[in-house]
């Protein structure tokens, strides 16, 4: 052991006196296992040459671990300090040779060491507690104060379970029936969903007219029992005219709508915003007019 310490001291002095540009300082030379020890490596670079520091990992070797590392600049390009917080979980003297620092064309290596000691425990007595275990005594009111949040939570959970039980039971007795939409109501709802997509504000004219044409065709399928899928625009117009589904001004506007829709869908025509909005409102109008007409017929 004396020989190891002698060698360690020699290397420590050698490391401290090695060169004029790099020196290291340990804040102490011994620790208990697991305690931190601070190492500072000072780099003097008066000629402002390029300085390359080593890459610091989570350990320097199998016995010395790195808890924290940082590099501080004391004077730009001239003075630096490499700070390491180290520890060890193995007892005994630990010597380290490394941490190569390159200044210009010169390479400097630090040599340092410290000893780690185990915590001494009397084998006969064993570890001793600082204070004896004290069992605190509580009054009845103090016990109530400690458990009332738990009791309140249990009551709330019970009430929630009862509510859920009776709610489910009532719901099973009186099931909510979903309202069946008429073809016109369904089409108007589809128009609202189309508006929410904001195709016009995104300049998606083709998508807008595809959607409008599809909504009205589905409405015709469900309301007038017309299977319009195989119809091109001219055939659809001829059928509507023949069966007087639309008449007068609405019929003419519908023909114009079909022509503009075909231009937008197939020729990628860019219609002006006013026309796009008018066509959107026109499809809504002819659906609503059909809904109003049916209402009066039912009366």
- Among the candidates 96, 117, 138, a domain finishes at 117
Q: pLDDT tens digits for 73-106?
A: 888 878 889 898 999 988 889 888 878 888 888 8
- Whether 78 is covered by a domain: the verdict is yes
Q: pLDDT tens digits for 264-287?
A: 989 888 889 999 999 999 999 999
Based on the fold, state whether residues 187 and 113 are members of the same structural domain. no
DSSP bridge pairs for 23: 42
Other C-beta atoms closer than 10 Å to the C-beta of 4 total: 13
- Whether 73 is covered by a domain: the verdict is yes
Based on the fold, state whether residues 99 and 196 are members of the same structural domain. no
Based on the fold, state whether residues 187 and 281 are members of the same structural domain. yes
Q: Which CATH number goes with the domain that contains 32?
A: 2.60.40.10
* Domain encompassing residue 285: 183-298
Kindly tell me the sign of the dihedral angle through the C-alpha atoms of 269, 275, 281, 286: negative
Q: Can you give the pLDDT at residue 292? A: 66
- Among the candidates 95, 117, 139, a domain finishes at 117
Based on the fold, state whether residues 105 and 195 are members of the same structural domain. no
- Among the candidates 69, 91, 117, a domain finishes at 117
Q: Can you give the pLDDT at residue 166? A: 85
- Whether 156 is covered by a domain: the verdict is no
Q: Can you give the pLDDT at residue 252? A: 94
Q: Can you give the pLDDT at residue 9? A: 41
* Averaged pLDDT of the chain: 81
Domain count, the chain: 2
- Whether 135 is covered by a domain: the verdict is no
pTM across the whole model = 0.41
* Nearest in space to 37 (alpha carbons), one of 83, 2, 76: 83
Which residues of the chain are modeled with pLDDT < 50? Answer: 1-20, 130, 295-299
How far apart are the C-alpha atoms of 183 and 245, rounded to whole Å? 15
Contact predicate 215/191, CB 8 Å: yes
């Amino acid at each position: 052991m004396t020989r190891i310490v002698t060698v360690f001291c020699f290397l420590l002095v050698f490391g401290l006196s090695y060169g004029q540009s790099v020196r290291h300082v340990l804040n102490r030379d011994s620790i208990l296992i697991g305690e931190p020890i601070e190492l500072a490596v000072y780099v003097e670079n008066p000629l402002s040459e390029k300085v390359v520091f080593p890459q610091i990992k989570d350990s320097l070797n199998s016995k010395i671990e790195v808890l924290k590392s940082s590099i501080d600049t004391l004077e730009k390009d001239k003075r630096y300090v490499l700070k390491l917080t180290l520890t060890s979980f193995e007892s005994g003297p630990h010597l380290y040779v490394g941490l190569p620092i390159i200044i210009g064309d010169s390479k400097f290596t630090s040599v340092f060491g410290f000893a780690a000691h185990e915590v001494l425990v009397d084998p006969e007595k064993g570890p001793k507690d600082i204070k004896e275990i004290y069992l605190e005594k509580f009054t009845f009111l103090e016990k109530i104060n400690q458990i009332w949040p738990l009791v309140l939570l249990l009551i709330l959970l019970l009430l929630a379970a009862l509510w859920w039980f009776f709610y489910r039971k009532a719901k099973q007795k009186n099931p909510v029936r979903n309202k069946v939409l008429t073809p016109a109501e369904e089409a108007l709802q589809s128009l609202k969903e189309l508006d929410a997509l904001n195709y016009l504000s995104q300049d998606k004219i083709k998508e807008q007219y595809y959607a409008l044409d599809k909504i009205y065709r589905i409405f015709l399928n469900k309301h007038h029992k017309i299977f319009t899928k195989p119809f091109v625009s001219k055939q659809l117009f001829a059928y509507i005219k023949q069966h007087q589904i639309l008449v007068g001004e609405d019929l003419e506007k519908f023909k114009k709508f079909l022509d503009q829709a075909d231009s937008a869908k197939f020729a990628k025509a860019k219609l002006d915003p006013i026309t796009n909005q008018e066509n959107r409102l026109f499809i809504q109008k002819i659906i609503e007019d059909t809904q109003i007409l049916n209402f009066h017929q039912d009366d």
